[in-house]
Amino acid sequence: MIRAVLALIARDLRLSGRVGGSGALSLVFFLMIVALVPFALGPDLNLLSRIGPAILWLAAVLATLIGLDRLFQADEEDGSLDLMTAAPVPLELVVLGKVTAHWLTTGLPLALAAPLFGLLVALDGTAMGATALTLLAGTPALSFIGAVGAALTASIRRGGLILAVLVLPLMIPTLIFGVSAAQAASGGTVPFLVPLAVLAALTLIAAVVGTLAAAAALRWPE
Amino acid sequence: MRLSVDNLACRRSGRRIFANLSFALGPGDALAVTGRNGAGKSSLLAILSGRLRPDAGRIDVADVGEASLPECLHAVGHRDGLKSSLTAGENLLFAQRLLGAPRLSPHDALERLGLGHAHDLPVAYLSAGQRRRVALARLLVCARPLWLLDEPTAALDTASQAVLAELMADHRDGGGLVIAATHQALGLADAAELRIEAAAAAPVEDVQEEWA
């Protein structure tokens, strides 16, 4: 059973690197948004470093949406999803495997690249580390929440926009605690660990609820 | 394995497609499902593979241990489940790891269908007939007792049709079951035929309440 899920993750990672996969695209999109902000706000370094974590988090939320609409749709269209329902593995584990692969190709690279991109918004060392840590803890929640929308829109053509409208409001709590944790690290009344713990809890809740809900949405009869 | 289907009915978007379908298959049996376009051949296969819920009736499986029906069948249909950017070998290896019960290696399975040279080619480069043969090679990489084939000869040349007939005969000799929806003779010896007639569909009276 574990072997089947590992095979699924390996296949999705391989697909994202091939032609038509979204591979490094979300990372480039993340960089674009972060790079645009200083142009829009002007070279006010104090302002930039104050809102820097918020910009990185907003960019991460938007970059997560890249490739999310194809998460289940691509498999639904070519019949791979039928193959997965015929596997001796519960659909929940299939969803878990696919979301893990999605996070490994979007959330994880974003979190790792965040310190570097923090330079563009004039973050200091502490804030860079804190933002990267909060992204590492929070982006899985974004992937799991997104998976529910992806499963609901799997059989709708051009479902990308509906998907964004469906899942963005659900990502708000993650965004709030992600940004407040990142800002708490560079001074403030709240200790860093409190919002970070809430963020980690949100990720765990999203992992359970998102997996079950996405699998239920995929099972929904025509 | 044994499969028995009793009084099966199918309804799609409020319309009754067929009703009162019954058949039973034992080890080595084959069933050719025929009928005009839109009669519900693919819907029947979709119900058997668990993608569609039947409107009425029951499906019983015996002699397969604890496996559910979708776990003991292979379905090959119009949507072939192949990823265009992966090679034929990678596609089959993935299917083998996902479905379990490995039998032939991907290379041997492709060789059996005369596609050994395509092992390292991305599926996107293959023709429709070659793609179909890669999908059929999936029948060989994992051992599963029931084969559900939807128009398996579509896009296949005569040589490949003969190979397919051979594969089905081997599968049945080993106690396997074959259900094929088709318009053409498949070379299935002494196969039962199930014809889904338009007349079999009950007159549609209750459409309105579905939408009410």
Return the pLDDT at A222: 54
Averaged pLDDT of chain A: 90
The DSSP code for B8 is: E
Residue B207 confidence (pLDDT) above 50: no
Contact A86 B84 (CB under 8 A): no
Residue B83 confidence (pLDDT) above 60: yes
Closest Cα in chain A, distance from residue B68 (Å)? 9
Sequence-distant (≥ 6) Cβ neighbours of residue A204 within 8 angstroms: none
Which token pair is A48?
Answer: 């930039």
Residue A67 confidence (pLDDT) above 90: no
Contact B52 A85 (CB under 8 A): no
Residue B109 confidence (pLDDT) above 90: yes
Q: Mutate which of B17, B55, B93, B97 to disrupt the A interface (most A C-beta within 10 Å)?
A: B97
Contact A87 B98 (CB under 8 A): yes
Torsions phi, psi for B18 (to 5 deg): -150, 165
Return the pLDDT at A151: 93
Contact A7 B100 (CB under 8 A): no
Contact B98 A78 (CB under 8 A): no
Q: Are B47 and A44 in contact (CB under 8 A)?
A: no
Alpha carbon distance A110, A59 (integer Å): 9
First to last CA, chain B: 42
Residue B111 confidence (pLDDT) above 60: yes
Q: Mutate which of A82, A93, A94, A222 to disrupt the B interface (most B C-beta within 10 Å)?
A: A82
Residue B212 confidence (pLDDT) above 50: no
Overall average pLDDT of the B4-25 stretch: 87
Among candidates A7, A82, A85 on the partner chain, residue whose Cβ is nearest the Cβ of B94: A7
Contact A79 B95 (CB under 8 A): no
Residue appearing with tokens 């926009």: A161
* B27-56 pLDDT, tens digit each: 999 999 988 888 888 889 989 988 888 888
Spell out the alpha helix ranges (H) of chain A.
Answer: 2-17, 25-41, 45-65, 70-78, 80-85, 91-105, 107-118, 125-152, 160-167, 172-185, 193-219
Closest Cα in chain A, distance from residue B136 (Å)? 13
* A88-126 pLDDT, tens digit each: 899 999 999 999 999 999 999 999 999 999 888 888 888
Residue B62 confidence (pLDDT) above 90: no
Q: Which residues of B touch A83 (CB under 8 A)?
A: 81, 95, 98-99
Residue B209 confidence (pLDDT) above 50: no
Q: Are A135 and A114 in contact (CB under 8 A)?
A: yes
Overall average pLDDT of the A145-149 stretch: 95
Residue appearing with tokens 């793609």: B131
| ipTM confidence | 0.86
Contact A221 B67 (CB under 8 A): no
- The torsion angle over the Cα atoms of residues A6, A10, A12 and A13, rounded to 10 degrees, is 130
CB proximity B77 to A under 8 Å: yes
Among candidates A3, A79, A85 on the partner chain, residue whose Cβ is nearest the Cβ of B79: A79
Return the pLDDT at A22: 74
Residue B200 confidence (pLDDT) above 50: no
Among candidates B73, B82, B98 on the partner chain, residue whose Cβ is nearest the Cβ of A84: B98
* A154-180 pLDDT, tens digit each: 888 888 889 999 999 999 999 999 999
* B184-199 pLDDT, tens digit each: 777 777 778 888 875 4
The residue type at A149: G
Return the pLDDT at B100: 86
Return the pLDDT at A221: 58
Return the pLDDT at B123: 92
Averaged pLDDT of chain B: 86
Q: Are B71 and B48 in contact (CB under 8 A)?
A: no
Sequence-distant (≥ 6) Cβ neighbours of residue B71 within 8 angstroms: A86, A87, A88
Q: Which residues of B touch A77 (CB under 8 A)?
A: 79
CB proximity B74 to A under 8 Å: yes
Of B133 and B202, the structure prediction assigns the larger pLDDT to B133
